[in-house]
């Protein structure tokens, strides 16, 4: 298993190779995170942190942060269905949280009890029921971490 962190370019953006973006889009579509008609999702959302997980050169997971509403850090996560429930998602989220201090938000389906449980174990807490995303009612969750002084 190999973890890869996409490096920032000099202008502050992330360098995402076209072939890699195609793999990431396919993965996030298969997980139901984005509509099937989105072919350039990662170019649109402009992630500020992008962590990829590979098993024998196959992309099996991707996670990172995007900025929402001008300044909120929002976590996204997608793991290949074949590799779900094996700890890979947890590993990716921990890698993201290691690199980001402060407040991080995410949305998770109201009925996605396994995800709610895992995010709870990782220190996220439920804030409020949120809006529908791709037809699914969601909860807004947050994680707050400050470095020790």
**Sequence-distant (≥ 6) Cβ neighbours of residue 29 within 8 angstroms:** 35, 36, 38
What pLDDT, on a 0 to 100 scale, did the predictor assign at position 124? 92
The rounded distance, in Å, linking the Cα atoms of 25 and 39 is 7
Q: Where residue 63 sits, what CATH number does that domain have?
A: 3.40.630.30
Q: Which residue has the tokens 């900025």?
A: 67
Q: Residue 37 has what pLDDT?
A: 66
pLDDT at 51: 85
Q: What are the start-end ranges of the H helices in 1-147? A: 18-30, 41-45, 88-99, 113-121
Structural domain total, the chain: 1
Q: Is 119 helix (H, G, I), strand (E, B) or coil?
A: helix
DSSP label of 7: P
What pLDDT is recorded for position 90? 92
Give the domain extent around 122.
2-145
Q: How far is CA 116 from CA 22, 51, 86, 108, 127, in A?
A: 29, 21, 16, 7, 12
Give the pLDDT confidence score for residue 122 in this predicted structure. 92
Predicted structure pTM score: 0.76
Amino acid 126: pLDDT? 87
pLDDT by 10s per residue, the chain, length 149: 666 666 555 445 555 555 667 777 777 766 666 666 666 666 666 777 888 888 888 888 888 888 776 667 888 888 888 988 899 999 989 988 888 777 888 888 888 888 888 899 999 988 877 777 767 788 788 888 765 54
Region of 115 on the Ramachandran plot (φ > 0 left; ψ -120 to 50 alpha; else beta): alpha
């Amino acid at each position: 298993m190999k973890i890869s962190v996409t490096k920032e370019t000099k202008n502050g953006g992330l360098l995402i190779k076209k072939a890699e973006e195609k793999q990431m889009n396919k993965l996030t579509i298969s997980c139901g995170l984005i509509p099937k008609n989105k072919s350039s999702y990662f170019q649109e959302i402009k992630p500020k942190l992008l962590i990829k997980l590979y098993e024998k050169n196959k992309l099996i997971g991707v996670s990172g942060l995007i900025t929402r509403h001008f300044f909120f850090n929002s976590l996204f996560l997608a793991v290949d269905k074949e590799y779900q429930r094996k700890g890979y998602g947890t590993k990716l989220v921990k890698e993201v949280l290691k690199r980001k201090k402060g407040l991080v938000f995410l949305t998770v389906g109201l009925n996605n009890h396994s995800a709610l449980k895992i995010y709870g174990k990782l220190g996220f807490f439920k804030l409020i029921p949120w809006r529908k995303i791709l037809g699914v009612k969601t909860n807004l969750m947050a994680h707050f971490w400050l470095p020790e002084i």
